[in-house]
Amino acid sequence: MTPSTVVVGVDSSTQSTKAAFTDAATGRLLALGRAPHRVTGGAGARESDPEEWWRALGEAVAAGLREAGVPASAVAGIAVAGQQHGLVVLDGHGRPLRPALLWNDTRAAPQAAALAGALGGPAAWAARTGSVPVASMTAAKWQWLREHEPYAAESAAAVRLPHDFLTERLAGVAATDPGDASGTCWYSTATGAYDTEILGLVGLDESLLPPVAPTGATRVGSLTRAAAERLGLPAGIAVAAGTGDNMAAAVGLGLGGAGLLDHPVLGLGTSGTVFAATRTRPASAALAGFASADGGYLPLACTLNCTLAVDKVAALLGLDRDDAAPGGEAVLLPYLDGERTPDLPAASGVLTGLRHDTTPRQLLGAAYEGAAVTVLRALDEVVRACGLDPADPAVASRPLRLVGGGARGRTWVETVRRLSGRPLLIPAAGELVALGAAALAAGAASGRDAVEVAGEWGTGNGRLVPPVERDRATWYRVTSVIDGLVAGGSPG
């Protein structure tokens, strides 16, 4: 049956753009258009040309429209979910002055450390913004730009996040949402507005920033004629404020803050993320106390090194990614790009515990274990920040929602299962960020709550994997190595 109303959810991630054409009534994924974009840089630098994102968005929408087999006139709304934290600086004509600094660009670590020590220190930052500056955060990147490329900073007529840039291209108006704005470290989750003292500290005029819409599903404008012609969609359809990728994934799962115990999520992608939806505002220096896209909060911790780092180890060993065995005595921390949680931006990979009988398969298994323990420790921080004890059986026995590309990998699933001791819920839907964005688009087009829409769609439903006894020996072995790095401030 051809749907009467279709919405488009765009997932503009680090390396590609996806456009999910979705039946607004049922949530059925009709088509998924894709287009790649490039990431350049080395020695801590990670950059992309925002114009490539815009090109990729057009290609992904065109491909999705062809595949969906629906008339363009059926499309009622569009929303963008983008990679968080990226810094986009524009000239007076809305064109990028330089490539965007991406979330995983670690060059701003010195600027982040200096900012974290200001305004009363980390605890004060967490109380004001929900987060402490680290190299990933936009405020640190802006400081880096001011110090290393002052001409670009002084010439900026507008400062945007990646999803803001694309939303503005669609609707012709500047807008962001509380979720993505909360990843900048210049937006206060305590007040729901930009923090003027922090903007003064980093020398950023608030007039360069987009207004903050109440939620990611807020209709901020209509698709312009120029954008409509480029995308092949009807002019005038609803454009939502959109949000960051993690916030959109939460919407796609139907998470709206009913309570932490029902909502722990572990995302296995290029980065590893853990988050929970809650109505209680967290303020912990150990994690990012983000806002959510629906007016609540999304405490989140992120590790830089996850599936991509483990795949690199597999390639170095000449093994298939699933040709792994438990690591035995070996510990391998695949901190190939520095690390964010724990905050070790200069770290490199660590290998210890080798024996004559250690096999290549065990080394690969040790890489999985190092990445999994790192992200599960981050989950414990999220639980603590919400006032709960991760060792409490009532907390530890709740299903852990496993999402991202790694959730489709047998070794990832078994490693997380073994090291967490939790049951795992693996949603059947594989494009939760794009589907969350589609729910935001549906909310903008209809005026409904986006989380409620996604809940009716059932995109968070899936397969339940029963728990196994927790491998505490491996947990403590890996944890001791991580704790040693943190205590010594070692670069790895």
Q: Catalogue the active-site residues.
A: 245
- Residue 286's contacts (CB-CB under 8 Å, 6 or more residues apart) are 301, 341, 381, 384, 385
DSSP-derived letter for residue 173 is S
Which H or E element spans position 248?
Answer: helix 245-252
Query: Cβ(141)–Cβ(85) under 8 Å?
Result: yes
- The burial of 357, by beta-carbon neighbours within 10 Å (0-12 exposed, 13-18 middle, 19 or more buried), is given as exposed
Torsion of CA 251, 257, 263, 269, to 10 degrees: 40
Closest CA to 4 of 21, 19, 25: 25
- Residue 326's contacts (CB-CB under 8 Å, 6 or more residues apart) are 362, 365, 369, 418, 471, 474
Has 84 been labeled as part of a binding site?
Answer: yes
Here the tokens at position 14 are 């680090």
Has 85 been labeled as part of a binding site?
Answer: yes
Distances in Å between the Cα of 413 and the Cα atoms of 4, 407, 417, 466 are 38, 6, 6, 11
Give residue for tokens 């597999």.
314
Q: Give the Cα separation of 436 and 387 in Å (integer).
A: 28
Query: Cβ(181)–Cβ(260) under 8 Å?
Result: no
Closest CA to 157 of 204, 226, 194: 204
- Residue 280's contacts (CB-CB under 8 Å, 6 or more residues apart) are 297, 386, 387
Here the tokens at position 444 are 């903008």
Closest CA to 371 of 326, 307, 450: 307
- The burial of 377, by beta-carbon neighbours within 10 Å (0-12 exposed, 13-18 middle, 19 or more buried), is given as buried
Closest CA to 83 of 45, 53, 110: 53
Helix (H, G, I), strand (E, B), or coil: what is residue 347?
coil
- Residue 221's contacts (CB-CB under 8 Å, 6 or more residues apart) are 170, 171, 172, 173, 175, 239
- Residue 342's contacts (CB-CB under 8 Å, 6 or more residues apart) are 374, 482, 485, 486
Strand 288-291 versus strand 158-160 pairing type: unpaired
**Residue 449 one-letter amino acid:** D
Annotated binding site for substrate: 84-85
Residues of the binding site: 84-85
